[in-house]
Amino acid sequence: MDKKIGFIGCGNMGTAILGGLVASGQVPAGNIWVYTPSPDNVAALREQYGINGAQSAQEVAQIADIVFGAVKPNIMLKVLSEVTSSLNKDTLVISIAAGVTLDQLASALGHDRKIVRAMPNTPALVNAGMTSITPNALVTPEDIADTLNIFRCFGQAEVIAEPMIHPVVGISGSSPAYVFMFIEAMADAAVLGGMPRAQAYKFAAQAVMGSAKMVLETGKHPGELKDMVCSPGGTTIEAVRVLEEKGFRSAVIEAMEKCMAKSERLSKS
């Protein structure tokens, strides 16, 4: 990709995007500029990745063809409003701030700007992220392709209409927490059965990762894959029976309903 990429802010998620880009070889490190308020952070990123350090957010805005807004959601609009006059007219601005809508971003940047709202999740930190991207009407097909390619450097990415952001929060943004709880609960049970804790976490986490990979790579329905594990009168169907009795699926659905509703409320506040 022959584009200059800029980062305004670069916390955990910004660093995951930066690291994925550099590791993929899609963008030379010399074509990436980063500004954060901490010169030490910029120096550390320059040392680690070979990127260019910028002296200000405005400098990033002037240089880059694609600008990532990677600051905290509570200051995103203020930061973007301060750099909008420095942006080129064709610059693509990508916000990774949760809960900040396209309309709010346009209010800060101007309604003539190309804007993408992106929502990566924390597994991006280990190159296994899932990201939704939501472009405004001014974003071109080429811009969308570039954005997808960037986020696919460290996982998967899909284009999502803005009303679907709340389901994305429930099934992707927040869901690693539910999966971590499931892994912890399975490990606790294995410890109860006598397995050392570190080994229990490894077995549980690998089982979750492998099961997810089977869903993605076989194309089979999750119910069919579940049936493959459940031998007649066996141990697995006994566990499944208890999970059904305790309302396992219903609890997950209700939890995600509450999560989506909270996301919707926050976006209106």
Write the CATH number of the domain with boundaries 5-161. 3.40.50.720
Whole-prediction pTM value? 0.91
Give the CATH number of domain 173-268; options: 1.10.3730.10, 3.50.50.60, 1.10.3720.10, 2.30.40.10: 1.10.3730.10
Intervals of CATH 3.40.50.720 along the chain = 5-161
Which tens digits make up the pLDDT trace of 12-30? 999 999 999 999 998 999 9
Which tens digits make up the pLDDT trace of 173-202? 999 999 999 999 999 999 999 999 999 999
Q: How many Å apart are CA 4 and CA 199, to the nearest integer? A: 45
Intervals of CATH 1.10.3730.10 along the chain = 173-268
Q: Give Cβ neighbours of residue 206 (< 8 Å, ≥ 6 apart).
A: none
Burial of 114 per CB tally in 10 Å (0-12, 13-18, 19+): buried
What percent of the chain has a predicted confidence (pLDDT) above 90? Answer: 94
